[in-house]
Structure 1
Amino acid sequence: MKKIFALFLLFITFLGFSQDKKISGYFVDETNKDTIIYLKHYHIYLLRDFNTYSKAKKILETKNEKFEISISKIDLRKYPYLEFESKNGNAIYVINKIPNDSILIAKVGENPNYNPDLEIVGAKPAIYLYPKVKSEISIKNDFKGKIMNTYPSYKNGWNVMAEPNGVLYNLDDKRTYNYLFWDGSYSFTKKHYQYENGFYVKKEDNITFLQEKLELLGLNNTEINDFVVYWLPELNKNEENFIHFWVNDNIDNSSILTITPKPDTLLRIFMEFKAYHGEEKLPQQELSTTPRKGFTVVEWGGSNIDEPVLK
């Protein structure tokens, strides 16, 4: 154990000589005015942009009250911000401009450079129902954020009579629909935006890309057309986009659908994208097809994470 500790000290010493910016301090919780809590198990990240998290670089995980970090000249040029987050994620992280001095007290809930509106993600999910025979179907959406708009009106759930061809008769307003619509806002954690893969698509390739990838994922022609018509104008605002798909993961566990009767196939696709400005590229995302068998429910949605405020 002593040898390991000695090697650790040697390693830290070596870093001290090779790094250019040294910062030490504490991560504290002062939300209770009567008590100051010095957090002991937390992560520290370098951020390129405090509005998005895909370019975060973890530089320390500590179980001590006091932290000591060293930042190279290269990283100082790339990453102007520091982020602190408790190990269990319960402590609100702070984002600070890297200070000129060498001592920093980071406080829970104190985000001087952070605009919380930029953390909120807008979604435009459309839900399609294809029972094998004409059926009465109810759907409830346990969304962890705030539902903003629904069509038809949600009213604590949707109750529809669905035809095998996807036509929906809403039992509440006695009108027919092609799909159920909802959108909402939700503040994902920073881990949500730490993408490991994705696609880089130029403006002139947007249509071909969407048609190919959505067909591969399992959407039919009508669903693909609806998707492209909605998202193409947004994608075309940028000369090139980074795109990542969340597939069959309940939109990163933010939205749980309870469908009665239970479908045989549930396909949920959520696309996130932002303008690409020449940063280092991630590996290409691998996609697979979800076979459609029996009673099938399909949902697609998305978000421009550069402009996450709902439209």
Structure 2
Amino acid sequence: MRSLVVVLSFHGAEDTLACVDSVVRGSPAHDLLVIDNGSFDGVLEQVAARWPHVETLQTGTNLGFSGGMNAGVAAGLQDGYDVVTVLNNDTLVDHGALDEVVGVAAGGGVAVSPRVLYRDDPSRTWFEGGRLDPDDGLPRHMTPHEAAAAGARDEGDPYAVDLLAGCCVTASAATWRDVGPFDERYFLDFEDSDWSMRARSGGTALLVVPRARIRHGVSRSFTGAYAYLGTYYYLRNLLLFASTWLPARQRRRLLRTRVLPAPVRDGREHGLRAGLRTGRILTDVALARLRGSYGRASVRLERRAQRWSAG
């Protein structure tokens, strides 16, 4: 059985090299494909110099998480791999973790995530399953109590969840083909929740394997301009997800409690300027919805985010 791990890098060479090292050392049975999402920061050259057997791919432009990972999955399917894993570049993979998730996913009909710990504090769990909030439908991580009720135990068997986290998803080639790629309208954020919903609606079971552990840097890419762009993608994509998957009652509640109050909430927590900027972003989100503009944010918005991050 041939297993491929796809690692996507965007201006994160240091994290990417550490991630690749953890896979090469701890999971040598699995092949690696490292993709640079158009950052041209030398990461592929460094990977090739240190690990000549690791495959690399340059997208040439920033395709977002969804587009970049789709390129890797497509390459894996074309090359005849039996199982493909997408893995965030800011993760460290514990010894044997890939063996565990691949072993569960190889039979087909399921998609699998490991238990995800905080990279800076491995005593804390970041993800052990996702669900839709029963009140407003927000995709969120399960609480420890919810995870325990679902069957999460340190050395227990895999258990079913509603949503997987995109930082590490493993599925057979047949499952990837059945579910299809990540929806590139999302670009970044909520594409994993949308993929999970499509998988479940098509009969694919979503499982977490608690014995498999990885450590995640958690939003290490959302710095500088991407702190503002992250707000844009979060709000825009949350509305896209809601319009696709949630009933009208939950859509209205989500808009009223999560989206519209964002400028006031940021103003209270971070000051007036932050609140005004979030208000401007919310206007951009509304315009994007009216125009049906998805995928990567406009050049105008990216440049404004750069100006804001500079001061």
Scaled by the length of structure 1, the TM-score of the pair is: 0.23
Structure holding more helix per residue: 2
Scaled by the length of structure 2, the TM-score of the pair is: 0.23
Structure holding more strand per residue: 1
